[in-house]
Every structure is written in C-alpha cells, then in structure tokens.
Amino acid sequence: MDSFKDVLEAAQMYCKAQMAEPTYNLYIDGLEPISFEDSSHITLSVRNDFICKIVTDRYLGLLKEAFKSVLGFAFSRRKPTMQDLSDLLYAANGINRPESGKRTAPSALNRQDIKIYVCLPEGAYLYNAKRHSLELVNKADLRQSEAPVCLVLVSDYNDRWSGLDAGIVSQNISIFCAGTGLGTYPHTTMDVSELKAGLKLKGQQTPMICNSVGFAK
C-alpha cells in the first residue's frame, strides 16, 4: 500500500535526523511495511531476529515518536456531534452568499471544484453545500486515520490550481477546529485507489488532502 510506504519513509527520515548514519543504515533503513491499522498498531518487518531485538530494545521509542510526528496527535474516543459537523462543513466550504452561490472558501476562477467527502465509521457522505446536507455515497468505512471523522477534499480537476483550492478549504477546517476545541491535522497520506473506488469518483476527480478531525486525548 503506497500510502503506508510514504508514512514509513517519512518516519525513517525523522529517525535518520536523530541517529548516526551507520546506525540508521544498519537498523532502521531496512524496515519494511507489513500492516497499518492506526498510529498505535503498526507492523514492520526486519531482516533478522538480531536486528529485531536491537530495534525493539533501543529504537522502539524513537520509532513511536517518529510515527506520532508524521501521523499527528492521538484522538480520544469522544466524537464530534452532528451540530459540530454541520458548523464545521459550513465554515469549510459552505455557501455564505446565497445570491451569488459563493463559498466561505474562494477558488481559482471561482471554479468551486472542491468537494468534501465526510468519512465516518458507518459510511462515507458527500457534503451538498446548496442543501447543507450529507448524501450517502458508500456504507463502508473509508476513513484514512484513526480519527472519528475524516474530511477528504476532492478536486474535480487535477491541475495546478487544485492543490491551492484544496489548501484553502483545509485551512478553513483548521481555523474552525482551533476556535471550537476540536483537533485536526491535514495530511496527504491516503489510499488514493481505495478512495477513488469507494467514493465513486469520476474522470479527473482526485483526492487532494484529508483532514482528520476529532478531540485530542
């Protein structure tokens, strides 16, 4: 899974900055991804039992610190309410000027190309800004982290403006969360193939950013 490889590579670079290069090359560089459930349940493979023991005894704490740095903070079991989610989606990319249909987030050439998919344990929904409602897309759990809510920002295009437009929406999410006691972190580590299929994306539609949202422990 490419997204897990990206996470591992970023964690390895974090470790490399904290270690002597020969030590890093011997014990950390050869780690391979096996499975990833969440930031607390990560399985890696090592070359042999001797290296496994050294990594476990000496570098497990550093690896945990590295993955926490890459993946963001841990979330509590407390879930945002539906009112929290309603207010958050409006702030992120809601229609605040009904007469013109313009949004809380500007977009290049007013393309309004960013769609917000709300991924919850019970299913994935598309935010309909005109109706300020959620439309069920898939009953599967498509969350991309252990957070109770993942907001996947999808652009209708995949061009030089897409990242900018998605970034503005992501910034709105972060500002809202900072002001209301919610926690969030944006990340581009996603299983893009899974999301494209599960969210039933078409044509050039591309997942750009995921904002994991919840309450910090």
- In this predicted structure, what is the pLDDT of residue 2? 45
The predicted model scores a pTM of: 0.75
Domains and CATH numbers, the chain: 2-71 (3.30.300.180), 82-214 (3.40.109.10)
Report the chain's C-alpha Rg in angstroms: 19
> What is the rounded CA–CA span in Å between residue 23 and residue 40?
25
**How many Å apart are CA 47 and CA 189, to the nearest integer?**
26
Coil, helix or strand at residue 211: strand
- One digit per residue, pLDDT tens: the chain, 217 residues? 346 788 889 899 999 999 999 999 999 999 998 887 656 678 999 999 999 999 999 999 999 888 877 777 778 889 999 999 999 999 999 999 999 999 999 999 999 999 999 999 999 999 999 999 999 999 999 999 889 999 999 999 999 999 999 999 999 999 999 999 999 989 888 899 999 999 999 999 999 999 999 998 8
pLDDT at position 1: 38
pLDDT in tens, 10-51: 899 999 999 999 999 999 999 998 887 656 678 999 999 999
Q: What are phi and psi of 92, to 5 degrees?
A: -70, -50
| The pLDDT of residue 3 | 64
Separation CA 162–CA 199 (nearest Å): 18
Q: Tens digit of pLDDT for each residue in 175-186?
A: 999 999 999 989
DSSP string, 19-68: S-HHHHHHHTTT-EEEEEEETTEEEEE-SSHHHHHHIIIIIHHHHHHHHH
Tokens in use for 59? 């570098």
Residue with the two structure tokens 């930031």: 39
